Chain A
Amino acid sequence: MNKQLPLDEFVSQLRDGMTIGIGGWATRRKPMALIRAILRSPLRDLTVVSYGGPDVGLLAAAGKLRKLVFGFVSLDVLPLDMHFRNARQAGAFEVMELDEGMVQLGLRAAAMRVPFLPTPVGLGTDILKRNPDLKMVRSPYADSQELVAMPALKLDAALLHVTESDVRGNCVIMSPDPFFDDLMARAADAVYLSCERIVATNKICSHERARYQPFERSIVTAVIEAPFGAHPTAGVPGYGIDVEHLKAYNAATTPEAWADYRSRFVDIASHDEYVEAVGGRGKLASIPPPVY
């Protein structure tokens, strides 16, 4: 089955009000080309689950969020994403603020098809008080511990950026950390992959490389080729974080500056044009991997 889709066509498979999980972590391997495609579409009222970076900031700035389920939003080198910050401070969307580990457990519960997973994480904090939907559960065993029943975070769709894929969705993530992309995929009814390159199956997998495959192709819905598709976040081993671009993005907070940013980097005809607009392939490929 050939699952390849053009970039802007994937959005037509999404619906208003969907719950969408976004892979990657803060400024690393975010499916930014897919996010920009959502910004160009009329899609709205999204509930987003993310280890947040500029993906959340862009969606917040464009008014696409109805609700955010998150543990943090950060640009790492620039600790605060101003678009997220301004929208959050204006009360522009609902929030379910959780511990990072609770997000993981919620995705895992959805992946396991159980209604919740018990955890002590959250006890003693304001997470329970601020999220009255979270319930407690008592261990049925001799310890009879009271634990948080972290509810399954079921996703309608997961958006992930991987290194390579074949047209059937056999993919590999070659960057240092696969994060929780595998749980996002298994928690979702549909999985949309953007990738640096679509390649032949025998170029993706070998006995050595098969271990870089986060999940099997049968849960992949569509594959979208988008070289540098994680930009301005890192797509190691190909390119690092574009700190200069993130600074410009983070400074574009007035209505005029945001409109200018959108017209230059979002509302453009093709992904190739985006790559040119941010400096071209040669420049992006020369951004070194981040040092923490």
Chain B
Amino acid sequence: MNATSYSLAELCIAQCAEVWRGEGEVLATGFGAIPRIGAGLAKLTFNSDLLMTDGEAYLLSEPVALGPRAARDAEIEGWMPYSRTFDLLWAGRRHALVGPVQVDRYGQMNISLIGDYRKPKAAILGVRGLAGNSISHANSMFVPNHSPRVFVEGEVDMVCSAGYNPARWPQGQIPADLRVGRVITDLAVLDFGGSAHAPRLLSVHPGVTVEQVCAATSFPLELAARTPETVAPTEEQLQLIRERLDPNGLRKTVFKGDPPGDRR
């Protein structure tokens, strides 16, 4: 049964979980609290085959709660040091949920820098593994601050992950297996499944208008005749989120004031 009272964070968690539906026995990697709780929710509900790590070097049989916990009390089902992670991901058996600083209409992400490469206005993390991830396996995104500064005009300042810009590929041939997944934001859910991989609006969160989303996005979004509302989490999902996956309430710190998911 879909709940009537839930937070924006919980709505986003349930939507994050959806990216792993039907993905099979892949490594689920979520960066940040909401993607991680989402991965755990997917594993506990509709995809028990997912592989998950403790964020360090071990594969865990069951997802663990975020934050302080009795260290190493979870059952370990294997070893996943970084070298093995690369071996696995280059073979494509992973779906990651990433938190980009900028995203463009081609699904290209930036977590490296703002401004110039030699002398950036803001140095952030670096390319990290986004280039290899994007060419190897599916990547979805979580963006907690849907705005024109994140969803930029043209291309992102440093293209860290490969995307659907034909100009960046030999003879304009985008690799057939390149998979940019969904984008879950504080306003809506997007993907790049429009015509010629155009960005598309899949749903708006309850109380958010299509106009609001378009105004907060610097590039045009393909719109359906009628945009559906994002589906509310179920009571079962809420219970797992609150009691099992995030009893310490780390999700409550993601959005200022922990607002409700239904903003009508």
Contact = CB atoms under 8 A, between A and B. Distances in A.
A85 B123 contact: yes
B128 A95 contact: no
A177 B57 contact: yes
Which of A102, A119, A179, A292 has the most CB atoms of chain B within a 10 A radius of its CB? A292
Interface string A89-102: 11100010111111
B229 to A, nearest CB: 33
A102 B128 CA distance: 10
A203 interface: no
B70 to A, nearest CB: 10
A63 interface: no
Nearest to A86: B123
A220 B54 CA distance: 32
A89 B117 CA distance: 9
A57 to B, nearest CB: 12
Interface stretch (B17-25, B78-86, B182-190, B193-201): B78-86
A229 B124 CA distance: 28
A88 B71 contact: no
B194 to A, nearest CB: 19
Contact of B81 (A70, A101, A177): A177
A17 interface: no
Interface residues of B, number: 48
Nearest to B67: A291
Interface stretch (B43-51, B154-162, B219-227, B252-260): B154-162
B90 A292 contact: no
A73 B112 CA distance: 10
A88 B131 CA distance: 21
A124 B159 contact: yes
A292 B127 contact: no
A263 interface: no
Contact of B125 (A74, A104, A180, A291): A74
B141 to A, nearest CB: 16
A118 interface: no
Given A124-B159, A126-B160, A177-B56, A89 B120 contact: yes
A95 B126 CA distance: 11
Interface residues of A, number: 44
A152 to B, nearest CB: 18
Given A124-B135, A125-B160, A130-B158, A97 B82 contact: no
B96 to A, nearest CB: 13
Contacts of B71: 288-289, 291
3 closest Cβ pairs, A-B complex: A292-B55, A124-B162, A72-B126
Given A125-B162, A126-B117, 9 more contacts: A73-B125, A80-B125, A88-B120, A88-B123, A91-B118, A97-B127, A101-B129, A124-B131, A146-B170
A176 B135 contact: no
A122 interface: yes
A127 B127 contact: yes
Contacts, number: 135
Nearest to A94: B118
23 contacts: A52-B126, A72-B126, A73-B125, A89-B120, A91-B119, A95-B117, A97-B158, A98-B127, A100-B127, A100-B132, A101-B131, A102-B132, A104-B86, A123-B169, A124-B165, A125-B127, A126-B158, A176-B57, A179-B83, A290-B56, A291-B55, A291-B71, A292-B55
Nearest to B157: A126
A125 B159 CA distance: 5
A275 B120 CA distance: 36
A155 B158 CA distance: 27
A181 to B, nearest CB: 10
A71 B120 contact: no
Nearest to B178: A124
Nearest to B83: A180
Nearest to A68: B126
Contact of B159 (A52, A100, A104, A126): A126
A198 B122 CA distance: 43
A31 to B, nearest CB: 17
Nearest to B79: A176
A84 interface: yes
Given A91-B119, A176-B58, A125 B161 contact: yes
B168 interface: yes
A278 interface: no
A97 B119 contact: no
Contacts of B113: 88
Contact of A100 (B121, B128, B134, B135): B128
Which of B113, B128, B132 has the most CB atoms of chain A within a 10 A radius of its CB? B132
Given A101-B129, A124-B169, A291 B117 contact: no
A253 B264 CA distance: 45
Nearest to A85: B123
Contacts of B63: none
A73 B83 CA distance: 18
